[in-house]
């Protein structure tokens, strides 16, 4: 950093590779991660639960890339628990690799938000995992499923869906 330059670089989340995060022309948000030893089992293969953590990170970062802070939704009393999850493992990811975790909002309806995922090689040529996660809006104070999402959340999701 130059002496006169007081801007600080934005730090990537733990495990994220700083370059190439963002939306592509097909509406996929790409979040690159590097596979560290703690992401793997004893044979150096990525542990199955790690994929879920990466997918959640990618989902939160895709919103953040549009100026939407997930923490703000939580502070407003909105919970978005997973109610359905489907993963297909096509091939294993090994320690030391870098992968692109791709996510986009799918065919959502009402308070049910469907997210599609692909985990691919960093060059996107090899497919490792495909997944779909369904979240549902819950009012934290009442502990009940919402009849509709708050207007600010609806607007944010519309922004996400229209941002190819």
Residue 102 is predicted with a pLDDT of 97
How confident is the model over 38-55, as a mean pLDDT?
Answer: 96
Q: Which of 9-23, 116-130, 139-153 has the highest mean pLDDT?
A: 116-130
| 41 assigned to active site | yes
For the cut 60, the answer to whether the pLDDT of residue 143 exceeds it is yes
* pLDDT of amino acid 25: 59
| Of residues 89 and 1, more confidently modeled | 89
Catalytic residue among 41, 72, 123, 141: 41
Element (H, E) at 34: strand 29-34
pTM: 0.81
Asked if 80 and 105 count as a contact pair (C-beta separation under 8 A), the reply is: no
Q: Judge whether residue 61 has pLDDT over 80.
A: yes
CA distances from 13 to 44, 58, 123 (A): 22, 10, 21
Query: Can you give the C-alpha Rg of the chain in angstroms?
Result: 17
Q: Which residues contact 83 (CB under 8 A, 6 or more apart)?
A: 112, 134, 135, 136
- The model's pLDDT over 84-141, given as tens digits with 9 standing for 90+, comes to 999 999 999 999 999 999 999 988 888 899 999 999 999 999 999 999 999 999 999 9
């Amino acid at each position: 950093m130059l002496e006169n330059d007081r801007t600080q670089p934005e730090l990537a989340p733990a495990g994220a590779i700083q370059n190439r995060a963002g939306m592509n022309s097909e509406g996929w948000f790409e979040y690159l991660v590097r596979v560290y030893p703690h992401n793997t089992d004893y044979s150096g293969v990525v542990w199955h639960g790690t994929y879920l953590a990466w997918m959640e990170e990618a989902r939160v970062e895709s919103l953040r890339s549009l100026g939407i802070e997930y923490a703000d939704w939580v502070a407003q009393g909105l919970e978005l628990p997973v109610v359905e999850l489907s993963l297909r493992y096509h091939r294993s990811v090994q320690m030391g690799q870098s992968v692109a975790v791709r996510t986009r909002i799918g065919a959502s309806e009402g308070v049910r938000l469907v997210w599609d995922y692909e985990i691919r090689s960093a060059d996107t040529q090899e497919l490792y995992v495909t997944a779909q996660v369904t979240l549902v809006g819950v009012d934290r104070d009442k502990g009940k499923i919402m009849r509709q999402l708050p207007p600010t959340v609806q607007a944010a999701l519309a922004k996400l869906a229209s941002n190819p």
